[in-house]
Amino acid sequence: MVFRKLVLRAMGSSGLYSILRHRRKGAIAMAYHGVEEEIIDPRIQTVHIPLRRFRRHMDYIKKNFEVIALDDLSERLEAGRGLDGRQVVLTFDDGYRNNLEVVAPLMESLDLPFAVFVSTEHTGQGVRMPTYRLRAGIYLTEAKSCRIRGFPEPFDLRDERARDHAIQAIAARYKTAPQPEADAILEDVESLIPEERWSEIDARFASDTPMNWEEVEILHRRGVTIGSHGRRHVILHTGQDEAWIRDEVRLSREEVERRLGSCRYFAYPNGTSQDIAPVAADEVVRSGYELAFTAEFGEIRQDTDRRLLPRVDGDDGFEYLQFYLNTAYRPGHHG
């Protein structure tokens, strides 16, 4: 990994990227979640990145690319022209309050458009994302072991390595289980921490607070594009009930439209190819979305399926960001 970063750093300083950039043919959609002034525990705040790193990303993108809004991307795809490898779209999933308090001021100062995909029930009810509760429950419980429904043996929680193993196994099952089973897993993990302590943990990790609708409306009035990320952040894989999948896609759009007047774009929760059942992609079209975004890597070309547009994860280090943006190629797993 260290050697790879050194190679990428050398490529960035060599001027090679300015040549490679012009060989790309499609736009890049960047995917972020949250941005915080300071990350106090990366085990819990895994979807948030420090403001200093994010600012470096944005400075680089503004200097070297053309940042366009989702409406502009949609219009260029509809027209069949206007994408030449220089265009970048900036998106944020889930709808965290720091999108308003931290991200928006920086983006406005740089004059960069961006979009936020909100999970409508989390927005409406102020409920934290389930994966945050899973991470916090396992890493911060005082229990030395736990039993989770669906697993034949209890998990050892006596040290950090054991907790790493537990959260990996539990999160993997949660993301592939039918929603009733996933809800049971979350309930078991949440029960590892007393209610009053959850209040203290949530206060400590304010980074994971979702926006409420008033805050979403403020972003919308400031020109930020608001799309749907489903109702309950249910992962829309083939193991889910098809009626539930359709409701997640359709009803979330209706809620955003009721609040803001328009909802043209969707981002699949989790978003890998294994997380998107065919019925989900079909419902995107049936519900009237213009574009839908995955977490699959790649660039957006004129012939890319508009129900399954790729994005590039913005959580990696700066050297990887440069490499991805300029080549649209993803090297092997780097840890």
Q: Cα-flanking dihedrals φ and ψ of residue 16, to 5°?
A: -65, -35
Residue partners of 85: CB distance under 8 A and separation at least 6: 21, 22, 23, 24, 25, 26, 27, 299
Q: How confident is the model at residue 275 (pLDDT cuts 50, 70, 90)?
A: very high
pLDDT band at 100 (very low <50, low <70, confident <90, very high): very high
CB 90 within 8 A of CB 113: yes
Over the stretch 278-311, which tens digit does the pLDDT of each residue have?
999 999 999 999 999 999 999 999 999 999 999 9
Measured CA to CA, the distance from residue 174 to residue 235 in angstroms comes to 9
CATH number (3.40.50.620, 3.20.20.370, 3.20.20.70, 1.10.3720.10) of 2-124+210-327 reads 3.20.20.370
Give the integer Cα–Cα distance in Å for 269 and 129: 11
* Residue whose structure tokens are 């809800």: 183
| Closest-CA residue to 208 (of 316, 118, 95, 314) | 95
Average of per-residue pLDDT across 240-244: 95
C-beta of residue 321 within 8 angstroms of C-beta of residue 60: yes
**To the nearest whole number, what is the mean pLDDT of the chain?**
92
Whole-number Å distance between alpha carbons of 150 and 182: 10
Q: Is residue 335's pLDDT more than 60? A: no
What is the tens place of the pLDDT at every residue in 142-192?
Answer: 999 999 999 999 999 999 999 999 999 999 999 999 999 999 999 999 999
3-state secondary structure 52-100: HHHHHHHHHHHHHCEECCHHHHHHHHHHCCCCCCCEEEEEEEECECHHH
Q: Where are the domains of the chain?
A: 2-124+210-327, 130-204
pLDDT-above-90 percentage for the chain? 86
Q: What is the mean pLDDT of residues 101-122?
A: 98
318-326: average pLDDT: 87
pTM: 0.93
Helix (H) or strand (E) segment spanning residue 7:
helix 2-14
In terms of C-beta distances under 8 Å and separation of at least 24 residues, what long-range contacts does 246-251 make, across chains too?
246/279, 246/283, 246/286, 248/280, 249/280, 249/283, 249/284, 249/287, 249/289, 250/283, 250/286, 250/287, 251/120
Lowest mean pLDDT, pick from 25-29, 71-75, 127-131: 25-29
pLDDT at 334: 37
Which residue bears the tokens 């944020």? 92
Q: Which residue has the higher pLDDT, 202 or 3?
A: 202
Segment (H or E) for 34: strand 34-36
Choice between 330 and 230, residue whose per-residue pLDDT is larger? 230
Query: Residue 24 — pLDDT band, cuts 50, 70, 90?
Result: confident
Q: How far apart are the first and last CA of the chain?
A: 7
The Cα 150–Cα 174 span in angstroms is: 10
For 303, the token pair is: 């012939």
Question: What's the pLDDT at 85?
Answer: 87
